[in-house]
Amino acid sequence: MRILVVSDLHANAAALEALDEPHDVCFCLGDLVDYGPEPSACVRWAMAHADHAVRGNHDHGAAQGVPVTGDVGFRYLTRVTRPDVWDSLGPDERKYLLQLPVTLRVTLDDVRYLLVHATPRDPLDEYLLRDEAAWGRRLENVDADVVCVGHTHMQFKLKVGDKTVINPGSLGLPRDGDPRAAYAVIEDGRVELKRVPYRIEDAVAAIQAATWPDRAKAMLVHVVRKGRLPAPADLLEEPDAIPEADA
């Protein structure tokens, strides 16, 4: 059994197009939408290819019309990009987002998997990195062999007692300084964290064609090219960046 694990696509269709990994089953850990300019393509991909999928905090926010405030970092980018998400989806795609479960238990080849976007304690929003002690507390009453999570956009695999925690990283918007699309493969008990390069300039072109403020487009262009949010000086170095004052 070869399981493909993906998370945090964030409306980046160009990254999805580079994913060509043989698999028998696909787990999708949420956040199909927000940030990127092509949410419909990512939702349709999940509908067609994800055998087991859960809801991310951005999927929930877009589907439920959760308002976002803020002018800093990713919160600002969410506030700018979310209003376009719902109108860009067709009826079936909207229904799919609305019906995604928050947690999901799957048993394959006698291995018990728990799928959540963030953590078992707070499936949508808790931000927890590769911290063995913290994960140990989160997993004390969890009845599963493997816990698959996303949300942080940081790849890791972690053995915690008799359980394994897997975060495949972000397929569409990595934040760890490596802009390549990230995912994981589970096969016969082995976990491989993988990256694949993609046509980043296709993603840049789609961002530039969006009707968002120039500041937001410059920030997103930097993230897809560099795998991290820009410092103010970074924006001035981007060849097609727009200064903060023009937002």
**Comparing C-alpha atoms, which of 91, 84, 102 is closest to residue 44?**
91
Whether 112 is in a domain gets the answer: no
Which domain, by its residues, includes 39?
A: 2-102+169-196
Whether 154 is in a domain gets the answer: no
Tokens of 135: 């994960």
Number of domains in the chain: 1
> Can you give the CATH number for the domain in which 188 is found?
3.60.21.10
Whether 21 is in a domain gets the answer: yes
Burial of residue 161 (CB within 10 Å: 0-12, 13-18, 19+) is: exposed
What per-residue confidence (pLDDT) applies to 231? Answer: 80
Tokens of 222: 């930097």
Residue 244 has pLDDT above 50, yes or no: no
Tokens of 79: 């506030």
What per-residue confidence (pLDDT) applies to 137? Answer: 96
Break the chain down into helix, strand, coil percent, rounded to 5: 35, 20, 45
Whether 86 is in a domain gets the answer: yes
Whether 18 is in a domain gets the answer: yes
Beta strands in 37-180 (DSSP E): 52-53, 103-108, 111-116, 146-148, 155-160, 163-168
Quote the CA–CA distance of 124 and 122 in Å, as a whole number: 6
Per-residue pLDDT tens digits for 64-78: 999 899 999 999 999
**Comparing C-alpha atoms, which of 77, 180, 167, 158 is closest to residue 117?**
167
Per-residue pLDDT tens digits for 24-75: 999 999 999 999 999 999 999 999 999 999 999 999 999 999 989 999 999 9
Whether 69 is in a domain gets the answer: yes
Whether 152 is in a domain gets the answer: no
Whether 163 is in a domain gets the answer: no
What pTM value is reported for the model?
A: 0.93
Residue 199 has pLDDT above 60, yes or no: yes
Over residues 115-133, the mean pLDDT reads 97
Over residues 140-158, the mean pLDDT reads 97
Q: What rounded mean pLDDT belongs to the chain?
A: 93
End-to-end CA distance of the chain: 49
